[in-house]
C-alpha cells in the first residue's frame, strides 16, 4: 500500500537540509505465560465443541468448520480465559484447534493439543521485524518539509495478518507529526521463516518508531533539542491547516501539545537534560541520556467489519445478572470492566453480575479481542442490552405504580418509584410475575469510520489515544550495559472505568515495549530455524529491569477531552511510550561525539549494539 499527500516526489528537493538513511527494527516473541492449547470434544452428527486459548473464538469456529467440511452451527468454541495473548492468539490458535478437531472426529474421543514452550516459540509467528528506508527534507528550525519512506516487513512463509499489519504501520508512520508532503509505502516480504502475526500495536509501533527516528535525525542535524523538533512538527488544532494525516483523516480533539507540555514541566525535563549534559562532560565511562516522546495511536480495527460487537444479558428473577459477550479475557481486565458497565447500568453491586465463558453458542459472529477495542465494543454492546431491559423495567414500574417515567430512579441496589423505595431483587421478581422480558441481546458498531484501501484515503479510526513518556538512562561505555533510571508517564485514558487496571496496563505495556526495544532479540539460522526459542536464549525484561524510579498519571482535568467516544483504548498506546527509552539510549551514545552525529541505533539496542 502507498499513502500520499502533497507532492513528495518533487518537494523533497525544495528544503535546505536533507537526510537519507535506514533503520532496522527487530521482531518480538509474545511470551504469553500460557502456551497455545486446544481441547476438542466430538458430539453427535457433525457436532464438535472446542475449548481454545484464542483471542478470536469466531475465527476458530469458522476455521474448524472449514477444515471439517461442516457448517459453522455444528462447531461451538469456548474460551474461559487465557494466560496472556498480546495478539499471538488472534490467528495462531487456529492450527491447534483444527488439528484437535480433526483428530477428535476421526478417533471419536477428546483430543488436546498443548505445545511446550520451545515448540510454541518455534512454530508460532512473532511481531514483524521491519526495515525502514527514509528520505526526509527539512528546514534549519527543524520543520519537516517532505518525506519519502518505505516500510519493508518480514512476513514469513504465508500472509497471515501481514497485510493489515503493514497497513497499520503506514497509518502510524507519521507518529504525532504533520508532513506537508509525504509518500510512505509498505513492502510485505515473503521469507523462509514462520509466518509472523499480530502483536500489541499491530504494526503501529514499527511505524511510529520510524517516525521518531526521523525526528532524531533532524535534531542531530540541526543541533536542536529533539523535544523542540517534536513540538515544532506536532499536528495542529482544527483550522490550523496542519491536521490532515497521510491517509487523509483529520486529527480532531488533539490534546498532544498541552499533554506533552504538562509532562515536560512535571518531569523537570529541561533542567534534567542540562544536568545530564554537564554530567557527561565530566564522566569518562558512564554516560546518561534523556528523552521525552509522544504517542498518538489510532483506535479501531482498520477492517471496518470488525468494528462490531454483541452481548447477551439475562436478569434472573432473584435479581442476579448473567452476562456474556464476544470479548475474551487474557489478563487485561476486560471481564471486570464490562461487568462494571452492567453493574453501573442497573446500579447494583458488581458481585450480582456473573460473566460466563466466551462462546460462539451465545454471541455469534464476534470480532477478535484486539485493536484496543475490547472495552469499547463489548462494553457498549452490553450497555445496549442493559438499556433495553431497563426500558422495559421502567415501563413496568410506570404501569404498576402509576407514575411518570421521571419518577422512576435506579439507586444502589434499589429503585425509587414515586415516593416508594423498592429493593432491586423485589422489583425484578415483581416484573417477572408481570411477564416482563428480562433478557436482551445488545449490539454496537463503531460509527463514523470508513476506509478505501485502494485510494489510500478514509477515516479508519474513531479516535486517537494520546500519551507521552520521559525516560532517563545510564550506559557503561566499556561494556554496553545500561540501566533505565527513571520514567515519567502521562497518558490520556478518557473516562477510566477502572483506574487500577488502567495503570497496570500502562505500566505493563511500557515494560513490554522496553523489552522489544532493548533486550528481546530474535535470531534465525540460515535455514530459517528460530534459535532463540526458550527463556535461556530469549531475554524478556526481568523485575530488576524495571525503572528504578517511575510515575504514571493522566492529564489534569482541563486537558481531557469531552466528546462522544465510549471508552478509551489504552493498552496498545501504552506500549509505544517505551520509545523514549531507545531515544534516551541514543542521546547517551551520541554524547561520545558531542551530540553532533545521530547514532542510528537499530532495535533492539542490546548492550552489544550500544
Closest CA to 511 of 536, 540, 538: 540
- How far is 585 from 605, CA to CA, in rounded Å? 8
Which residue do the cell numbers 512476513 mark?
155
- How far is 580 from 596, CA to CA, in rounded Å? 20
- How far is 180 from 194, CA to CA, in rounded Å? 38
List the catalytic residues.
Answer: 568
Provide the β-strand partners of residue 410: 415
What is the H or E stretch that residue 324 is in?
strand 321-325
Estimate the crossing angle of helix 374-401 against helix 334-346, to 10 degrees.
20
For residue 72, what is its C-alpha cell? 459453522
- How far is 292 from 276, CA to CA, in rounded Å? 14
User: Helix, strand, or coil here: 229?
Assistant: helix
Q: Are strands 38-42 and 144-156 parallel, antiparallel or unpaired?
A: unpaired
- How far is 175 from 49, CA to CA, in rounded Å? 43
Q: Among positive and negative, which fits the CA dihedral 350, 390, 319, 321?
A: negative
Q: Among positive and negative, which fits the CA dihedral 8, 13, 17, 21?
A: positive
For residue 168, what is its C-alpha cell? 497499520
Closest CA to 573 of 249, 113, 172, 187: 172
Residues 6+ apart with CB under 8 A from 42: 48, 104, 105, 108, 109, 110
Q: How far is residue 213 from each of residues 216, 240, 494, 602, measured CA to CA in Å?
A: 5, 25, 29, 10
Which residue do the cell numbers 539460522 mark?
525
**DSSP assignment of 380-449, as one string?**
HHHHHHHHHHHHHHHHHHHHHHT--GGGEEEETTEEEETTEEEEHHHHHHHHHHTT---EEEEEEE--S-
Amino acid at each position: 500500500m502507498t499513502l500520499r499527500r502533497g507532492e513528495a516526489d518533487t518537494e523533497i528537493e525544495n528544503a535546505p537540509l536533507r537526510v537519507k538513511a535506514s533503520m532496522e527494527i527487530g521482531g518480538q516473541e509474545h511470551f504469553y505465560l500460557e502456551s497455545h492449547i486446544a481441547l476438542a470434544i466430538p458430539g453427535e452428527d457433525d457436532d464438535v465443541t472446542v475449548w481454545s486459548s484464542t483471542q478470536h473464538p469466531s475465527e476458530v469456529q469458522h476455521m474448524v468448520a472449514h477444515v471439517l467440511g461442516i457448517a459453522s452451527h455444528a462447531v461451538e468454541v469456548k474460551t474461559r480465559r487465557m494466560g496472556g495473548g498480546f495478539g499471538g492468539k488472534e490467528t495462531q490458535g487456529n492450527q491447534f484447534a483444527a488439528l484437535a478437531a480433526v483428530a477428535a472426529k476421526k478417533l471419536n474421543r477428546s483430543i488436546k493439543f498443548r505445545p511446550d514452550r520451545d515448540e510454541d516459540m518455534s512454530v508460532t509467528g512473532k511481531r514483524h521485524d521491519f526495515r525502514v528506508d527514509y528520505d526526509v527534507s527539512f528546514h534549519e528550525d527543524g520543520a519537516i518539509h517532505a518525506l519519502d519512506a518505505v516500510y519493508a516487513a518480514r512476513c514469513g512463509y504465508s500472509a497471515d495478518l501481514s497485510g493489515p499489519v503493514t497497513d497499520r504501520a503506514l497509518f502510524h508512520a507519521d507518529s504525532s507529526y504533520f508532513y506537508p508532503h509525504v509518500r510512505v509505502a509498505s513492502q510485505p516480504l515473503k521469507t523462509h521463516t514462520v509466518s509472523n502475526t499480530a502483536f500489541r500495536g499491530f504494526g503501529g509501533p514499527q511505524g511510529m518508531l520510524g517516525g521518531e527516528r526521523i525526528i532524531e535525525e533532524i535534531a542531530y542535524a540541526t543541533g536542536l533539542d529533539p523535544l523542540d523538533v517534536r513540538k515544532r512538527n506536532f499536528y495542529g488544532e482544527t483550522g490550523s491547516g496542519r491536521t490532515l494525516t497521510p491517509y487523509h483523516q483529520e486529527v480532531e480533539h488533539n490534546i498532544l501539545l498541552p499533554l506533552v507540555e504538562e509532562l515536560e514541566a512535571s518531569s523537570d525535563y529541561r533542567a534534567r537534560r542540562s544536568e545530564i549534559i554537564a554530567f557527561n562532560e565530566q564522566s569518562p565511562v558512564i554516560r546518561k541520556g534523556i528523552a521525552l516522546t509522544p504517542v498518538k495511536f489510532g483506535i479501531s480495527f482498520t477492517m471496518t467489519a470488525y468494528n462490531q460487537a454483541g452481548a447477551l444479558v439475562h436478569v434472573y428473577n432473584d435479581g442476579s445478572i448473567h452476562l456474556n459477550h464476544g470479548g475474551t479475557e487474557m489478563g487485561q481486565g476486560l471481564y471486570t470492566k464490562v461487568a462494571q458497565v452492567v453493574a453501573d447500568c442497573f446500579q447494583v453491586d458488581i458481585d450480582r453480575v456473573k460473566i460466563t465463558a466466551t462462546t460462539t453458542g451465545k454471541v455469534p459472529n464476534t470480532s477478535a479481542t484486539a485493536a484496543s477495542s475490547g472495552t469499547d465494543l463489548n462494553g457498549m454492546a452490553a450497555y445496549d442490552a442493559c438499556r433495553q431491559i431497563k426500558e422495559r423495567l421502567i415501563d413496568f414500574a410506570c404501569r404498576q405504580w402509576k407514575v411518570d417515567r421521571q419518577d422512576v430512579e435506579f439507586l444502589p441496589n434499589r429503585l425509587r418509584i414515586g415516593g416508594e423505595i423498592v429493593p432491586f431483587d423485589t422489583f425484578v421478581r415483581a416484573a417477572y410475575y408481570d411477564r416482563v422480558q428480562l433478557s436482551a441481546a445488545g449490539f454496537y458498531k463503531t460509527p463514523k469510520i470508513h476506509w478505501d484501501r485502494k485510494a489510500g484515503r478514509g477515516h479508519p479510526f474513531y479516535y486517537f489515544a494520546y500519551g507521552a513518556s520521559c525516560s532517563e538512562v545510564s550506559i557503561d561505555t566499556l561494556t554496553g550495559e545500561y540501566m533505565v533510571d527513571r520514567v515519567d508517564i502521562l497518558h490520556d485514558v478518557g473516562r477510566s472505568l477502572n483506574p487500577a487496571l488502567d495503570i497496570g496496563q500502562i505500566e505493563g505495556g511500557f515494560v513490554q515495549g522496553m523489552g522489544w526495544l532493548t533486550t528481546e532479540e530474535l535470531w534465525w539460522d540460515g535455514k530459517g530455524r528460530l534459535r532463540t526459542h526458550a527463556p535461556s536464549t530469549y531475554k524478556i525484561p526481568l523485575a530488576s529491569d524495571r525503572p528504578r524510579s517511575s510515575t504514571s498519571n493522566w492529564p489534569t482535568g482541563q486537558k481531557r477531552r469531552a466528546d462522544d467516544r465510549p471508552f478509551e483504548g489504552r493498552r496498545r498506546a501504552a506500549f509505544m511510550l517505551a520509545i523514549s527509552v531507545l531515544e534516551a539510549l541514543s542521546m547517551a551514545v551520541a554524547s561520545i561525539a558531542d551530540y553532533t552525529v545521530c547514532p542510528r541505533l537499530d532495535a533492539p539496542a542490546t548492550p552489544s549494539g550500544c
